[in-house]
Amino acid sequence: MAGETVAKIGSGLLIFLGVVRGDTKETAEWMARKTLSIRIFADGGQAMNRSVIDVAGSLLVVSQFTLAAETLRGNRPSYSSAAESADAERLYEHYVETLRRETNQVETGSFGSDMRVALENDGPVTILLDHA
């Protein structure tokens, strides 16, 4: 519904998840484990030595098929490498379930919906995880 807040988190990670053709349940599980364990939060000395689990952070997962954009040719992105919607949704849900096995601080957007997403980026730190 327009104007409805679907999910909101405090300190933690905003995850834009793009699923491409060839991704599997194993890919989703690997990505979830990496998301939870990657050390990108500052410790007392300001080094990036802590994971989202270490800092008791929250996670907001938003589906984002446009991450599969191919832009080498022409001026209009192609999304032919993006997974079919049903496959993408299945793997998106599996990724979220894998996260939730480790923490109850997981929120989600509305899969496949047009959403307004607001971010206050502390750092800024933006990391691309890829299982290629």
Which residues participate in catalysis according to the annotation? 66
Tokens describing residue 43: 């410790």
| H/E segment holding residue 58 | strand 58-63
Helix (H, G, I), strand (E, B) or coil at 56: coil
Q: What are phi and psi of 12, to 5 degrees?
A: 160, -140
Q: How many angstroms separate the first and last alpha carbons of the chain? A: 36
Tokens describing residue 71: 């832009």
Q: What are phi and psi of 39, to 5 degrees?
A: -95, 95
Chain position carrying tokens 């949704």? 89
